[in-house]
Amino acid sequence: MKLAPASLRLSACRAAGNPARSLERGFTLLELVIVMFIMGLIMTIALPNITAISSARIRSEARRLSGRARFLYEKAAVEKAVYRLIFHLDSKRNGYEVARLDPYDPEPKFVPVNSPATEPVLMPAGVKVRDVTVEGIGTVARGMAATQFYPGGYVDATLVHLSDASGNVYTLFFDPLTGRVSIAEGDIRDAGEME
């Protein structure tokens, strides 16, 4: 007598409702513990990388602002013009833009500069210009603040704080004599602490 293949016999037992022969069962405690361990291991590896992405975003924005400030410092000296870096601190339009004033114009006034190197910058989601401190003006946390780059080769002494949703803060200091921009991690209120 020839027997049917094992898969047919198994399905016949299941169809007949024979629980003794059924191979269906739940997970064992050991299997659940192994799965939980693997999930924990993956989270341990992935979570620091997720926060590193947020930290990289604010660090990138600090470097971009630093580059823009250094560029304006050089451009003001070369063109013998005054450049103004205007910070928008409102939540809808948080970022910065550039305006230029020709001091030799019969009616000098600041006009927006729209070129690839000076286009307005909106902060990415989760990163914002928290406040700006300009020497002689004070600290501004809402509305607009501006710092100026002069043709004589100097800039208003300025502290800018960038913050993100994770609570990271970066401080940028514009040196008034050299135009050098120092970047430091943390909420620094005094330019002397930047060195």
CATH label of the domain that carries residue 118: 3.55.40.10
- The residue segments making up the domain with residue 77 are 58-194
* 23 falls within a domain: no
**CA distances to 72, 113, 145, 155, 184 from 117, in Å:** 10, 9, 21, 19, 24
49 inside domain: no
Q: pLDDT tens for residues 154-184? A: 999 999 999 998 889 999 999 999 999 999 9
pLDDT value at residue 19 = 54
Lowest-confidence region among 41-55, 60-74, 136-150, 158-172: 41-55
Residue 183 inside a domain? The answer is yes
Record the pTM. Answer: 0.71
Say how many domains are in the chain. Answer: 1
Specify the DSSP class assigned to residue 182: E
Report yes or no on 4 lying in a domain: no
Report if residue 14 sits inside a domain: no
Q: Where are the beta strands (DSSP E) in 102-194?
A: 111-112, 121-122, 127-134, 138-140, 144-150, 154-155, 158-164, 169-174, 181-185
Q: Is residue 29 part of a domain?
A: no
Query: In sequence order, which residues have a C-beta less than 8 Å from that of residue 94 and are 6 or more positions away?
Result: 88, 122, 123, 128, 129
Residue-wise pLDDT for 69-119, tens only, equals: 999 999 999 999 999 999 999 878 899 999 999 988 899 999 999 888 888
Q: Identify whether 15 is part of a domain.
A: no
User: Are 178 and 195 in contact, with CB atoms under 8 Å apart?
Assistant: no
25 belongs to a structural domain: no
**Average pLDDT rounded to a whole number, residues 56-62:** 91
User: Is 190 or 187 the better-scoring residue by pLDDT?
Assistant: 187
